[in-house]
């Protein structure tokens, strides 16, 4: 048996977004959700380091409040972490467009951000994924962009919550543009490097890949060389990407290859 | 007073959860000995194969190379018995048969005979199967032949689809096995629950009185409840035993606990209550406990100082759980302990919508290495 929101990963994937599933997400929830009437945007107010440090808390909850605390987590690299297909405790008392039962009727998205000065502005890749993700969910449900609210707009009494820190009307305008088809198509990472004379284009690698090219990569990022792209290699890639100001998604595409090459030959 | 009666209810739920955990553990021990589920599975296969005594097609099926590996000993059909069906003995039989193995083996037997020596030597096709099944000399019973022919008819000439049809037929039957097993479990757990209640003298009424009169006992029970719901899974047998002993409940037999005269009525009622409660099962009580603890956390005044996690935020940190404003919802505190089932569900629903996250204490942060693998975002 699984809860109602099992359609979320497919919808997000077809919007060109990165999606990662937590264990047993289909069965997770405080019972099932009701009819979905919108999407509520949050930020986690979690730690500053890492891609999605709050994921454990979102799944398991915290002292005094059992998880799941949202349906979707959004990492700093724009990856959606699917936490639960059932009801989550994310909304609390509040009201948006007449809906007061937020946990029952809203999908909650918790984006990783401290909510403090040390984490502003939000990464472009995360904001872009936030807008596209919300638009994809609303599009699937046949709801307009106005069905998306910030937790700070929903929560009552007003001022009880400050999340998310970004401007919600501008965010909704962006969502409306995607829903209306006037926004540009999502930019996907190419499958391999562009063909250049005298060089074999290297394939884009991500977790799960194996082979000689992975071993090369592991040497470049200083991970244990075993030819298998696992969680530790991915974490090393993310660290390297952060150092160079790339999107720290652990996916080794053309840009990351280029940067890793430059790093390995400092004299060149 | 409101919180007291809620705590009393929590205490009772904890006791029921622990007793039913013990009963479930005993039931599992009995199942490990008897393998009732395997017996039911065999019975269902006999029914499907129209082989009441299990010595014809069923025997050939269990001895088929595709299935014989699932058996721990060779198949000896036992005569069908009616008595004590809920304690049926299935030792040596497989407790699980994959639908695909069943379908492959049965179709193979249809094509090549029970021992693989009959029929044409050629590969199996829908036509060769149909010819074999329509052959009046086919050893299979007419009912089985009809079922298989139907599977062929609805396969539109595709052997894989025909096998899938047979698998569906098998899976339908397995749903029935689950039903039998569930009913048998309910009976056995009830018998176990009565035994546990009597041997342990677990009298719900006496325990409720104990919680009512003794605040320390109530608090201890609520504390156990908090540790129990902090874990994602229902307690194990060992945990249940530990907590039960720590609670120091008025249970067990002593000279003073033997009921006198008029006490018998209440005592028997208390036993029955415990036994019925335990029959509902540990998962049920664990679920109820989780929900009631949610209600409690919404009506309870906060125990921790709200400032303990504060950094220099732009607002006061959110309380761990937001206490609903009295106007926002019907006060759950007034309704919770005494209301009936539907009302309780409504209170839970209201309470659940009062909970939110963002900010507050965080658990252990997830490192990048612990994150699950992502898909998507790359051109295909």
**Confidence bin at B311 (pLDDT 50/70/90):** very low
Q: Chain B interface, mutation test: which of A16, A64, A84, A223, most B Cβ atoms within 10 Å? A: A64
- Tell me the HSE value of A228 on the side-chain side, using a 13 A CA sphere: 3
Q: ipTM of the predicted structure? A: 0.86
Minimal C-alpha gap between B276 and chain A (Å): 25
Distance, in angstroms, between B232 CA and closest chain A CA?
8
Q: Helix (H) and strand (E) counts for chain A?
A: 9, 8
Tokens representing B211 are 């919680």
pLDDT of residue A18: 93
Asked if the model's pLDDT at residue B330 lies above 50, the reply is no
Single pTM value for the model? 0.52
Given an 8 Å threshold on Cβ–Cβ distance, is A78 in contact with B377? Answer: yes
> Residues A182-190: what's their mean pLDDT?
89
* pLDDT per residue as tens digits for the range B100-156: 889 988 888 888 877 666 666 667 788 888 888 888 777 788 888 888 889 988 888
In the block, which residue shows the tokens 């003298």?
B201
- Give CA separation, A104 vs A136, B206, B234, B296, in Å: 20, 39, 25, 20
Cβ atoms of B71 and B93 within 8 Å: the answer is yes
CA atoms within 13 A on the CB side of A230: 8
Question: Which CA distances in Å does A164 have to A150, B201, B356?
Answer: 6, 56, 14
Q: For B165-207, give the DSSP string.
A: HHHHHHHHHHHHHHHHHHHHHHHHHHHHHHHHHHHHT--HHHH
Confidence label for A79 from pLDDT (cuts 50, 70 and 90): very high
pLDDT at B377 exceeding the cut of 70 = yes
- B375 burial level (CB within 10 Å; 0-12, 13-18, 19+): middle
Nearest chain A residue (CA) to B354: A92
Instruction: Report the pLDDT averaged over residues B268-288.
Output: 90
* pLDDT at residue B343, rounded to an integer: 56
CB A47 within 8 A of CB A106: no
Whether B365 and chain A come into contact, CB under 8 Å, resolves to yes
Instruction: Identify the pLDDT of residue B159.
Output: 87
Q: Is B326 on the interface with A (CB under 8 A)?
A: no
Q: Which of A125-134, B62-71, B354-363 has the lowest mean pLDDT?
A: B354-363
Beta A72-74 vs A79-82: how paired, if at all?
Answer: antiparallel
Reference B356, options A8, A112, A162; nearest CA is A162
- Give A137-186 as a DSSP string: HHHHHT--GGGEEEHHHHBSSTTS---S-S-HHHHHHHHHHHHHT-SPPP
Question: Are the CB atoms for B333 and B3 separated by under 8 Å?
Answer: yes
Q: Do A251 and B377 touch (CB under 8 A)?
A: yes
- Residue B340: pLDDT band by 50, 70, 90 thresholds? very low
Give me the pLDDT at residue B86, please. Answer: 66
- Say how far apart CA A206 and CA A231 lie, in whole Å: 10
Q: What are phi and psi of B317, to 5 degrees?
A: -60, 150
| Residue A37 and residue A106 in contact, taking contact as beta carbons nearer than 8 Å | yes
Q: What is the dihedral of CA A219, A220, A221, A227, to 10 degrees?
A: -40
Rank B194-198, B344-348, B351-355 by mean pLDDT and report only the highest. B194-198
Strand A79-82 relative to strand A18-21: parallel, antiparallel, unpaired?
parallel
What tens digit of pLDDT does each residue of A94-126 get?
A: 889 888 888 999 999 999 998 888 888 899 999
Q: Poorest-confidence range of A184-193, B294-303, B334-343, B357-366?
A: B334-343
Predicted confidence (pLDDT) at residue B310 exceeds the cutoff of 50: no
Which three-class secondary structure string do you get for A29-42? CCCCCCCCCEEEEE
Chain A's closest residue to B364, CA to CA, is: A56
Enter the DSSP assignment of A192: B
- With contact defined as beta carbons under 8 Å apart, do B174 and B48 qualify? no
Q: Is B214 exposed, middle or buried (0-12, 13-18, 19+ CB in 10 A)?
A: middle
Q: Which residue of B has its CA nearest to A95?
A: B328
Asked whether the beta carbons of residue A44 and residue B358 sit closer than 8 angstroms, the reply is yes
Chain B: give the shortest CA distance to residue A20, in Å: 4
Contact in structure between B339 and B347 (CB atoms under 8 Å): yes
Closest CA to B247 of B279, B273, B229, B222: B222
* Domain positions in chain B: 3-27+184-304, 33-181
Interface test with B, best of A34, A45, A72 (most B CBs within 10 A): A45
The reported pLDDT for the residue numbered B125 is: 82
Rounded CA Rg of chain B? 29
- Write out chain A residues lying below 8 Å of B316, CB-based: none
Average pLDDT, chain B: 78
Cβ-defined contact of A100 to B353 (cutoff 8 Å): yes
Residue B66's pLDDT band, with cuts at 50, 70 and 90, is: confident
E strands along chain A, which residues? 18-21, 38-43, 61-62, 65-66, 72-74, 79-82, 106-111, 148-150
Give the gyration radius of chain A's Cα atoms.
20
Residue tagged 């090549």 (tokens)? B112
How far apart CA A88 and CA A82 sit, in angstroms, is: 12
pLDDT (0 to 100) of residue A36: 92
Say whether pLDDT at B316 is over 70. no
Residue B349 has pLDDT above 70, yes or no: no
Residue with token string 């690299």:
A77
User: Does the structure show a pLDDT above 60 at B13?
Assistant: yes
Query: What is the reported pLDDT for B319?
Result: 41
Contacts of residues A178-186 at CB distance under 8 Å and 24 or more positions apart, as own/partner, are A178/A131, A178/A132, A178/A135, A179/A135, A179/A138, A179/A139, A179/A144, A179/A145, A185/A16, A186/A15, A186/A16, A186/A17, A186/A128, A186/A132
Q: How far is B140 from chain A (nearest CA, A)?
A: 37
Contact A155, A106 (CB under 8 A): no
Q: Do A89 and B356 touch (CB under 8 A)?
A: yes
| Average pLDDT, integer, range B367-375 | 90
Percent of chain B with pLDDT over 70: 79
Note whether B282 and B20 are within 8 A (CB).
yes
Task: Please check the confidence at residue B321 and state whether its pLDDT lies above 60.
Answer: no
Answer for the pair B367, B327: CB distance below 8 angstroms, yes or no.
no
Distance in Å, alpha carbon of A45 to nearest chain B alpha carbon: 5
| pLDDT tops 60 at residue B273 | yes
């Amino acid at each position: 048996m699984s809860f109602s929101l099992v359609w979320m990963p497919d919808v997000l994937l077809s919007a060109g977004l990165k999606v990662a599933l937590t264990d047993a997400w289909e069965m997770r929830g405080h019972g099932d959700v009701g009819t979905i009437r919108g999407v509520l945007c949050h930020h986690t107010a979690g730690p500053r380091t890492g891609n999605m440090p709050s994921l454990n808390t979102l799944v398991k909850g915290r002292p005094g409040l059992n998880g799941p605390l949202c349906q979707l987590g959004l990492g700093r690299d724009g990856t959606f972490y699917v936490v639960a297909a059932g009801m989550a405790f994310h909304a609390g008392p509040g009201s948006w467009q007449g809906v007061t039962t937020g946990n029952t009727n809203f999908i909650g998205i918790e984006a990783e951000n401290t909510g403090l000065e040390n984490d502003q502005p939000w990464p472009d890749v995360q904001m872009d994924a936030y807008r596209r993700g919300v638009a994809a969910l609303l599009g699937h449900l046949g709801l307009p962009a106005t069905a998306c609210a910030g937790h700070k707009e929903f929560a009552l009494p007003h001022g009880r919550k400050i999340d998310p820190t970004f401007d919600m009307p501008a965010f909704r305008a962006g969502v409306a543009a995607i829903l209306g088809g006037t926004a540009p198509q999502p930019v996907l990472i190419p499958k391999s490097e562009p063909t250049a004379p005298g060089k074999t284009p290297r394939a884009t690698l991500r977790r799960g890949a194996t082979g000689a090219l992975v071993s090369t990569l592991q040497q470049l990022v200083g991970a244990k060389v075993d030819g298998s792209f696992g969680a530790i290699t991915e974490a090393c890639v993310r660290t390297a990407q952060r150092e160079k100001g790339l999107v720290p998604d652990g996916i080794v595409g053309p840009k990351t290859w280029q940067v890793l090459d430059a790093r390995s030959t400092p004299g060149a | 007073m409101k919180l007291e009666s809620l705590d009393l209810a929590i205490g009772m739920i904890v006791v029921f959860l622990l007793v039913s955990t013990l009963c479930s553990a005993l039931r599992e021990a009995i199942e490990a000995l008897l393998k009732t589920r395997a017996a039911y599975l065999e019975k269902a296969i006999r029914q499907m194969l129209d082989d009441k005594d299990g010595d014809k097609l069923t025997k050939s099926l269990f001895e088929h190379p595709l299935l014989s590996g699932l058996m721990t000993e060779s198949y000896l059909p036992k005569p069908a018995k009616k008595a004590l069906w809920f304690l049926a003995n299935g030792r040596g039989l497989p407790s699980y048969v994959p639908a695909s193995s069943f379908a492959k083996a049965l179709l193979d037997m249809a094509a090549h005979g029970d021992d693989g020596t009959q029929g044409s030597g050629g590969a199996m096709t829908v036509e060769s199967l149909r010819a074999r099944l329509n052959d009046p000399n086919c050893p299979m019973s007419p009912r089985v032949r009809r079922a298989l022919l139907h599977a062929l008819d609805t396969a539109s000439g595709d052997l894989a689809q025909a096998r899938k049809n047979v698998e569906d037929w098998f899976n339908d039957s397995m749903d029935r096995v689950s039903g039998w097993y569930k009913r048998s479990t309910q009976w056995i757990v009830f018998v176990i629950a009565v035994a546990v209640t009597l041997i342990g003298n677990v009298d719900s009424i006496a325990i409720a009185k104990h919680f009512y009169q003794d605040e320390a006992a109530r608090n201890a029970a609520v504390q156990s409840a908090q540790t129990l719901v902090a874990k994602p899974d229902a307690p194990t047998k060992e945990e249940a035993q530990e907590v039960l002993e720590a609670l120091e409940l008025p249970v067990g037999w002593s000279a003073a606990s033997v009921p006198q005269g008029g006490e018998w009525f209440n005592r028997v009622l208390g036993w029955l209550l415990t036994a019925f409660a335990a029959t509902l099962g540990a998962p049920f009580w664990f679920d109820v406990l989780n929900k009631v603890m949610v209600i409690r956390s919404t009506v309870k005044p906060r125990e921790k100082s709200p400032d303990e996690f504060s950094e220099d935020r732009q607002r006061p940190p959110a309380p761990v759980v937001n206490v609903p404003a009295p106007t926002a919802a019907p006060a759950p505190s007034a309704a919770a302990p005494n209301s009936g089932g539907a009302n309780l569900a409504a209170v839970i629903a209201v309470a659940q919508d009062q909970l939110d996250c963002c900010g507050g204490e965080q658990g252990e942060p997830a490192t990048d290495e612990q994150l699950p693998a992502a898909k998507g975002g790359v051109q295909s």
